[in-house]
Structure formats: structure tokens, C-alpha cells
Amino acid sequence: MSEKTSTRRDFVKGVSMAAASGLLLGGCIPYPSGIVPLVDSASPLTPPDEVSPDAVLLGLYSPATAPDPQAAVRSVSEHLDWSWLSPGDSVFVKLACNSGNLHPAVTSPNAVRAVVAELFDRGAGRVLVGDQGGMEDVSTNSDGSRRGSTRELTERNGLHQAIVGSGAEPYYFDDQAYEEGFVQANMDLDGHHWSQPPHLARIITEVDHVIYLPRLSSHVMAGYTLGHKIAVGWLRTDSRSAMHLDFLNLHNRYVELNYHPLLRDRLRLTITLAEKVLLDLGPNEGTIADLDSWVVIASSHLANHDAVGVAVLAYVDGVMPEAPRLVRAAKDYQKGIGSDPSLRRAYEILGGIPSAIRVNLLGQGPGAALRTSLDSYDGGILNLMAG
């Protein structure tokens, strides 16, 4: 056994043993916290006249300005560029469904309902929604055998009901044939970190467009999980295992998947709805932070979306007290993009970290503490614009 493999297995075993012995506070036992304040008043902001392709929309909506989380997502969606969508086009909506736990451990079912409704209202034809659960719960093998079921996980966390209820088609990668359901993706990026070509879900090649629906959460191995990280779900079990075993290149590998032509040519939007935030551990359990408003982060630029999401996550994490006796996720990302291995690799692929990221504010203005935190993130790289 290689040193890398042994280290990875020992780490996972150690976390599992800690969880089993009660050392980890699970999602069902959140640290007492109250509500994290995000907004300063009920006065709605003036929507922007236009949104540039690289900009990020950051919407903060309390019940005073939106009746429910779906309305918050629909409000932000009004200001996104949907010109890529033609009548009858097929769209795959990619979830973050690592487990059967409820949001924020997975994508919010309200995000599914809102985005699918938006797609149908704008003339989309076939809309598929799905993912493959985490390796702890779901795996498939070349001999046709399998363990667990993503469908069962989504039935437990409410995502399956949201998909069906919205009129979309559920599509789970572990329900597809091991060979026919996946396609080899030969990596063509300079300096990529895949020693063997990964296998991605074939459905990518059969749709016109892809939309990502992440959640806002810490991750015990990756530090956090947002848009780039959910690409892991596209992988066949063998490729997913290979990615995790090379722990030193974990971030590089999952980031690079998003810039393979199969995805880069189809990914149109990344939209995150955070009704709550998962902290301190992740991806499945940890401290649950309640918020005074619903957070919607949306952009056609995946890296910029994640940069803004990280900044919001860093603020919420800083406000919340840390849970005792908890194995915590690494937080190097809080120091800025240069210390964030995921974003550092993404911007390297894209040609460099931008001098500024435009952030259009929607809904309600951020409170003074959140505004100060966003303004100071990574030396002030976020350019907050209202109206």
C-alpha cells in the first residue's frame, strides 16, 4: 500500500471512529447559536441596470422582501443572462447530494423548484435533475453490483420530491450502466493532475446546457464545498476513488473537471441558495448556522461565483462560535484566493486572478459587519455594487 493511500484511509477511518464514538457533533445536534445577522434593513435595493458576464449576483432576502426562498431565487434569476437558452433546449441541473441529510448538507429543494420553474417558463424542453451520492453511501462496480442508491438518498432529503413535483426528470448516475452510462474524458489542460483519464456521466454529452446548484458548506477534506467541488458527482466510482486517494492533488483534480470541454462548453450558470449554512465539519454533518435572510449567489462565471461564496462562508463562520470537540475543516481559504487551492487552480486555468470581481447586490443591503467582511476579503477584491 502506498503512503498516500494509507494516509487517506487512516484519515477517513479516524474521522469515522470519532463520529461513532460521539466526538463529532452531527447535523442533528447543532451548536446553539441563535441567528447569524446578514441584512441591515427591510429596504429593498434598486436592481442593477445590467450585469456583466463575469459579475456575481448576491441576493439577501428576508421575509420582509421575499415571501419564501423560491421567490428569492426567482428574483435573482430575473437579472441573469438566459440568452443561451432556446425553445426546446435540454438542460441538466446538477445537484450537490452527498447524503440523505437535509439542507444545508445538500442542495436546497427550494432551489430545485425555483430553477426548474424558471427554465420551463423560459421555454426549456427536457429538464433533468440529478447527481450521485457520496462514496460512503453509493458506489457501483464493473461487474454490475452496487451499494446504496442516490434515489433513496434524495427521497430522504426531499430532493426527489422537489424534482418530480417541479415536472423535471430525476436522473441518478448510479442507476446507469457502468460502461454505457459514462464516457472517458481525456484531459487536455496544461499541467493537469489526472494520471488516468476520468470517466464522467455520459448524460453531459446528451444535453445542451448544464446548471450547477451547490450549497454553502464546510468540507472536512476540501475546506469547503461550492461550485467547483460538486463536479465530483459526475465521476464514476473508480475515478472518484482515484481522485480521493491522491489527496495531495484533490483540489486540482476536481477543479480541472469543470474545465474539460464536456463541461466548459455546457456550463451556463451556477446558482447557490443558502437557507442555512453548514460549518465546522462537512460535507454531511457539523454545526448548522441559521441566517436572518436567504442568500442567493448566482453567476455565469464559476470561479467568481465561488470566490463570493467563500467570502460569505468566511463571514458566517467567523460570527458563529466553534463547536467543542469537533474535527474541523481546514480554513486556509479564508486568507484569500492565493491561499485557496481550489480557486488558485481555477484562476490559473483561466489566465490569472482578476484585479476585481464585480458583485451586484440584490434584495436587501448587507449589514455593517457583513459589508465590512466582504469589502476586506482578499484585500478588497470584491467590488460591491448596488443599483
The share of the chain scoring above pLDDT 70, in percent, equals 89
In the prediction, which pLDDT does 327 show?
A: 60
- What local confidence, expressed as pLDDT, does residue 333 receive? 85
Averaged over 198-205, what is the pLDDT? Answer: 98
Domain boundaries, the chain: 66-352
Q: How much is the pLDDT for 326?
A: 59
Tell whether the model's pLDDT for residue 29 goes beyond 80: no
Q: Is residue 25 scored above 60 in pLDDT?
A: no
The pLDDT tens digits of the residues spanning 118-159 come to 999 999 999 999 999 999 999 999 999 999 999 999 999 999
Residue 2 clears pLDDT 90, i.e. is over it: no
Q: What pLDDT, in 10s, does the model give residues 316-335?
A: 999 988 766 556 667 788 88
pLDDT of residue 154: 98
In the chain, pLDDT over 90 holds for what percent of residues? 81
Question: How far lies 220's CA from each of 15, 24, 122, 266, 283, in Å?
Answer: 9, 12, 38, 29, 7
pLDDT tens by residue, 281-302: 899 999 999 999 999 999 999 9
Confidence of residue 28 (pLDDT cuts 50, 70, 90): very low
Distance CA 203, CA 181 (A): 7
Least-confidence region, from 11-15, 102-106, 328-332: 11-15
Specify the higher pLDDT residue, 298 or 43.
Answer: 298
- Give the right CATH number for 66-352 from 3.30.720.200, 3.20.20.70, 3.40.50.11440, 1.10.600.10: 3.40.50.11440
Using DSSP, state whether 334 is helix, strand or coil: helix
* DSSP secondary structure of 7-58: HHHHHHHHHHHHHHTT-S--TTSPPP--EE--EEEEEEPPPPS---TT-EEE
Task: Give the orientation angle of helix 69-77 with respect to helix 109-121, to 10 degrees.
Answer: 40
Burial environment of residue 54 by CB neighbours within 10 A (0 to 12, 13 to 18, 19 or more)? middle
Residue 27 has pLDDT above 90, yes or no: no
pLDDT at residue 33, rounded to an integer: 53
pLDDT in the model for residue 11: 37
What does the block give as the cell for 154? 434524495
